């Protein structure tokens, strides 16, 4: 195990993650490789009266620690038992490893839209999969957990017999947002389809036809066929839809960047409230991108998950003002979609 203190070569690399706007400021980092070393790190923290935090990828950094950082990225074995359809992963495994090992056996995990997210962090927050409405939360599939203190050192969970999925996306220029939001809201969604609506502004340097454009993006996936023709209410900038290996719907890694985000779970989202949220986010003084996941199907904790993300820090007040438009429908929030917020 490597141990880093401030000023050591490697200290900054070890504490840096996917979130570039914020980093842990630990007194000491334990770069663990097995459960025994996790135990050593936890004991050190407890003996010295220090708090400890875990980092695998840094995707879900909320608040930083000044105590002990347990860096788990080297502790990342993944084993698949095809007979029992079980995966066993260590603390630092990422989804891509599981997807790659499971796919040759016609199996898949309930992973999300970014393959470089950590399996344990994602699952501890419930885990909203790209097939969530069809199969439920990733956490529902956990078969056993191994822990040292608050650190999960290994997780065993069920894999599903999923090989190919019907999945795709449509991009529209943001000038068509009102019509696209309305069509999305009107969708008589089959329980087996998991869709997402997002707004995003692509940087000028982004390769391809979306460079420099503000867009509305719709994505959808299911193991069963479904129709999306009714969503094509304006000219699409980019569009694709078809039967593909699960790995292609399971998301590609993004480059590390600075972002702040929060979310609310809602028990209703009338169209007029959705339009107010859209307008308020679009007119905010900081860029705010919106993500909307209709729940229902096998995700029964609320009717909608509404996320706001800004490509910078310090946007809490602007996010709160947008959430105010749906405050009367809020029933909670999802731990997974809180980024760089206390």
Ligand X SMILES: Cc1cc2nc3c(=O)[nH]c(=O)nc-3n(C[C@H](O)[C@H](O)[C@H](O)COP(=O)(O)OP(=O)(O)OC[C@H]3O[C@@H](n4cnc5c(N)ncnc54)[C@H](O)[C@@H]3O)c2cc1C
Size of site (CB under 6 A) for ligand X: 29
Contact string 211-250 vs ligand X (x = CB under 6 A): ----------------------------------------
Give the one residue of 42, 151, 228, 231 binding ligand X; rule: CB under 6 A.
151
For residue 329, give the DSSP letter: G
Give the one residue of 22, 91, 107, 250 binding ligand X; rule: CB under 6 A.
91
The answer to whether residues 190 and 226 touch, using CB atoms and an 8 Å cutoff, is: yes
How many CA atoms lie within 13 Å of 92's alpha carbon, on the beta-carbon side? 19
Total Cβ atoms within 10 A of residue 150: 10
Contact string 252-281 vs ligand X (x = CB under 6 A): --x---------------------------
Give the one residue of 58, 109, 136, 311 binding ligand X; rule: CB under 6 A.
58
CB of 269 to ligand X, least distance (A): 19
Strands 238-245 and 164-173: antiparallel
Q: Does 65 bind ligand X (CB under 6 A)?
A: no
Q: Does 68 bind ligand X (CB under 6 A)?
A: no
The answer to whether residues 179 and 160 touch, using CB atoms and an 8 Å cutoff, is: no
Count Cβ atoms within 10 A of the Cβ of residue 103 and give its class: 0-12 exposed, 13-18 middle, 19 or more buried. Answer: middle
Which listed range, 144-152, 206-214, 223-231, 317-325, lies at the site for ligand X (CB under 6 A)? 144-152
Q: Does 55 bind ligand X (CB under 6 A)?
A: yes
Q: Does 332 bind ligand X (CB under 6 A)?
A: no
Q: Does 115 bind ligand X (CB under 6 A)?
A: no
Q: Does 112 bind ligand X (CB under 6 A)?
A: yes
Q: Does 306 bind ligand X (CB under 6 A)?
A: no
Q: Does 71 bind ligand X (CB under 6 A)?
A: no
Q: Does 200 bind ligand X (CB under 6 A)?
A: no
Q: Does 54 bind ligand X (CB under 6 A)?
A: yes
320-325's contacts with Cβ under 8 Å and 24+ in sequence apart are 321/280, 321/284, 322/277, 322/280, 322/281, 322/284, 322/288, 322/290, 323/262, 323/264, 325/273, 325/276, 325/277, 325/280
CB of 215 to ligand X, least distance (A): 17
> What is the arrangement of strands in the sheet containing 68-71, beginning at the earlier edge strand?
2-4, 28-31, 68-71, 52-55
- What is the phi/psi pair of residue 205, to 5°? -80, -5
Q: Does 72 bind ligand X (CB under 6 A)?
A: yes
Give the one residue of 89, 99, 124, 315 binding ligand X; rule: CB under 6 A.
124
Q: Does 195 bind ligand X (CB under 6 A)?
A: no
For binding to ligand X (CB under 6 A), which residues are involved? 17, 53-61, 72, 91, 112-114, 117-118, 120-122, 124-125, 127-128, 150-152, 254, 336
């Amino acid at each position: 195990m490597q141990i880093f203190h401030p000023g050591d070569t490697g200290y900054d690399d070890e504490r840096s993650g996917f979130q570039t706007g914020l980093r842990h400021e630990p007194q000491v980092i334990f770069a663990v490789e097995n459960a025994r070393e996790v135990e050593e790190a936890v004991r050190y923290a407890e003996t010295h009266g220090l708090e400890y935090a875990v980092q695998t990828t840094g995707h879900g950094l909320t608040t930083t620690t000044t105590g002990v950082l347990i860096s788990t990225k080297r502790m990342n074995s993944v084993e698949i038992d095809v007979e029992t359809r079980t995966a066993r992963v260590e603390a630092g495994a990422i989804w891509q490893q599981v997807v790659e090992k499971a796919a040759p056996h016609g199996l898949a995990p309930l992973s999300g839209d970014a393959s470089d997210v950590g399996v344990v962090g994602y699952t501890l927050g419930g885990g909203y999969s790209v097939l969530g409405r069809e199969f439920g939360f990733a956490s529902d599939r956990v078969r056993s957990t191994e822990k040292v203190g608050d650190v999960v050192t290994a997780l065993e969970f069920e894999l599903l017999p999923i090989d190919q999925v019907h999945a795709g996306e449509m991009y529209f220029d943001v000038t068509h947002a009102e019509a696209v939001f309305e069509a999305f809201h009107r969708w008589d969604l089959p329980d087996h389809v998991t869709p997402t609506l997002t707004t995003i502004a692509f940087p000028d340097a982004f390769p391809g036809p979306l460079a420099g454009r503000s867009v509305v993006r719709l994505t959808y996936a299911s193991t069963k066929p479904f129709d999306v023709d009714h969503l094509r209410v304006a000219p699409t900038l980019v569009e694709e839809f078809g039967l593909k290996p699960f790995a292609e719907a399971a998301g590609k890694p993004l480059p590390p960047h600075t972002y702040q985000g929060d979310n609310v779970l809602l028990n209703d989202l009338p169209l007029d409230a959705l339009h107010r949220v859209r307008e308020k986010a679009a007119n905010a003084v900081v860029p705010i991108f919106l993500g909307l996941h209709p729940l229902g199907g096998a995700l029964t904790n609320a009717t909608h998950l509404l996320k706001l993300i800004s490509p910078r820090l310090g946007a809490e007040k602007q996010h709160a003002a947008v959430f105010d438009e749906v405050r009367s429908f809020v029933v909670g929030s999802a731990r997974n979609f809180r980024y760089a917020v206390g």
